[in-house]
Structure 1
Amino acid sequence: MEALDGSSTGADGGGDCTVAYSQGSLSGEWRVENSRDMQEQVEAAGCTFIQASANDDVAKQLQDVNDLLARKPDLLVVAPVQYEPLAPVPGLADAAGVPLIVVDRELPGTPGEGQYEALITIDFVESGRKVAESIVAGLTEKNGAPKGRIVHITGTTGSSPVIDMQEGIDEVLADNPGIEIAGSCDGLYAAEPGRKCMEDLLQRFDAGTIDGVVADNDESALGAIQAIKAADRTELFPWVWGKDAQRTGLEAMLAGEMYYTISTPPQYGAITMETWRAAQEGTLEDTKILLPKTEYQIGTKDATEQIKARIEELRAQNLNCC
């Protein structure tokens, strides 16, 4: 086992290739599963895996990228913390002559140019639209019309999913002017910051002044649920919207504490290795690859059965996320 620093591990897949992974963070179950899957698939392909976690620090991630490139890997994979501050990354890969694949969040630059071979991500604008469409449906169900006030716990400020999701949400709410986002704060895609955000928002907005809460991921939504319970503000149940479709989020839906979530698969390892192989062979057709998503919303017997079935699938895989 190799390690770049205390937050990273490396393993030898038994081959003569090396894949270096610059992980934006290892906080939260989504990131842990993302790294576990990446390592498993790299080693299954017979390569050595080395990883560094930036701990949500863009300056550290730039240094991590430089350190990883200095080890002359055969492939650099980057899961960025933020968008603009990490703009130098494709140029660094070009200068080092190391192929680059970006996963999950976007970076400035054009996939398919220079060493920047591909972007593998989720259509987060579409995710934002889907979440907002569910908000419209939920508030119509609650209030008899598409109207109401919600609060928003965002993901990490400046990250491309936050920017893109907000674009999708704004697009739908522009057609539904009766719905207002009354307040927001940064939940850092994590449960504890989400809980603290919700505590602050509940202090700002008394009972009856807001209709629900949308969080940019399930972990923040679950933190918000903790705060709602502690403050005895359960009038906000089930009017909580999340994203990621992790098992504990789906369980909260069955408990009547969440209304909706949409999957954001963390398993990028297999598609990353397949994409790299196709680039090496000159057969790569798409340089921007979008992973599919599944929506979950309470309200019908079929929806409940769909949620139960997914929970059992995740339990069978010993996974919470996603």
Structure 2
Amino acid sequence: MDSKRRIITASLIAAPLAGALGTFSALISQPAFAQQKKYRFGFSQVTTVEPWRVQFNKDMKAEAAKHPEVELIIADAGDRTDKQNADMENFITQKMDAIFISPKESAGLTGVVEKAFKAGIPVFVLDREVNGEQFTQFIGGDNVQIGEEAGNFIVKLTGGPGKAQGNLVEIWGGFGAQPAHDRHDGADKAIAKEKGIKRVGERVDCDWKQDKAYDYMKTVLRVQPKIDVVYAHNDPMAYGAYLAAKDAGREKNIKFVGIDGLPQEGATWVEQGLLAGTFMYPTPGAEGIRQSLKVLHGDKVPKKVTLPTQGIFADNAKQYIASH
């Protein structure tokens, strides 16, 4: 081989090799070659005992799993404000990229939410509100609207607007939780107009629990010979009231109305004819993950995101269950 051909051949080999080495070198030096940034999210959940809370966590974990850059840490406060404060303090100390909280009560957790927000951590308040505006965003259902829809349904069950007649028992969630007050106030917008609807029973904090609602309903049944409708602030309490009435042999004369609409719970009880109706209260966890990633990517988000509701009755319960 002459010298000219050797030079050409060497050039043909060297050029691609240099190009490959250059490309490899560029890849090593580019930040994109490094692992994608990991985000650590802390979620202070008030309790994991209630079925709606179990679904809440499940929905949130499912959404987080769609984003490999997200590590979600859930702390269960065991239905205690002091534990929830401690969990929040721990998240602040760990300098989480975002913090979520679904508070047991508004007043007792406002301070620690403000502390996290002032530390520069995006804070998302889910389901139950805190006082003031020192947080990034609130996400939840419109409990006043849901209550109003429940109230309109109760009026319909008892004879319709202007004609409604009957004795109503209201079973309260936690007095310290804003949703309980909102669900009462919303329902009262419709019910207060009806002079024929009489409220019976005492106002008792049943703390969203089925067993407490059962005990309360047993007491009311002993002193009230006539009860037409029970309105409970969630489905487990409506079901607890139903069981108490059943044990007293009076369940067939009473209509039970709840809120939450979980497919395996409230919606199923409606389909079975145990509850007259319930109203979907969507869990906010999945939307919380989506909104937090927007914030971390530099997007602006609204201060409040309101999730939609839906009434679940005998005529649509089966279809609702099948679609969820």
Question: What range is the shorter-chain TM-score in?
Answer: 0.7 to 0.9
Deviation of the 1:285 alpha carbon: 4.0
Equivalent position of 1:187 in the other structure: 206
- Give a deviation string over 1:292-322, Cα, whole Å, max 9, x none: 1111233xxxxx2x211122234xxxxxxxx
Task: Confirm or deny that 1:286 pairs with 2:307.
Answer: no
Please give the root-mean-square deviation of Cα atoms over the aligned residues, in Å.
Answer: 2.0
For 1:89 and 1:177, how far apart are their aligned partners in 2?
44
Equivalent position of 1:158 in the other structure: 176
Other structure's SS at 2:204 match: strand
TM-score under structure 1 length normalisation: 0.83
Deviation of the 1:15 alpha carbon: 5.8
Aligned residue among 82, 101, 120 for 2:105: 82
Q: AA paired with 1:26?
A: T
Structure 1 runs of 4+ with >4 Å offset: none
**Aligned residues with identical type, % of pairs:** 27
Equivalent position of 1:176 in the other structure: 194
Task: Confirm or deny that 1:125 pairs with 2:141.
Answer: no
Q: AA paired with 2:247?
A: A
Other structure's SS at 2:47 match: coil
For 1:166 and 1:221, how far apart are their aligned partners in 2?
14
For 1:89 and 1:55, how far apart are their aligned partners in 2?
17
Change (3 A) 1:296 1:165: same
Change (3 A) 1:144 1:235: farther
Equivalent position of 2:130 in the other structure: 107
Deviation of the 1:192 alpha carbon: 1.9
Is the Cα contact below 8 Å between 1:15 and 1:48 reproduced in 2?
Answer: no
Change (3 A) 1:180 1:15: farther
Answer with 197-206 or 125-134: which moved more. 197-206
**Alignment of structure 1 residues 28-47 onto 2, 5 Å:** 28-45=50-67, 46-47=69-70
**Alignment of structure 1 residues 1-322 onto 2, 5 Å:** 16-45=38-67, 46-110=69-133, 116-140=135-159, 145-183=163-201, 184-206=203-225, 209-237=226-254, 239-247=255-263, 248-266=265-283, 268-298=284-314, 304=315, 306-314=316-324
Is the Cα contact below 8 Å between 1:20 and 1:49 reproduced in 2?
Answer: yes
Other structure's SS at 1:197 match: helix
Which runs of 5 or more residues in structure 2 are unaligned?
A: 1-35
Other structure's SS at 2:136 match: strand
Q: How many residues align?
A: 286
Other structure's SS at 2:231 match: strand
Which runs of 5 or more residues in structure 1 are unaligned?
A: 1-13, 299-303, 315-322
For 2:267 and 2:116, how far apart are their aligned partners in 1?
40
Deviation of the 1:290 alpha carbon: 0.5
Equivalent position of 2:12 in the other structure: none
For 1:256 and 1:43, how far apart are their aligned partners in 2?
37
For 1:90 and 1:125, how far apart are their aligned partners in 2?
24
| Rg larger in structure | 2
Is the Cα contact below 8 Å between 2:124 and 2:137 reproduced in 1?
Answer: yes
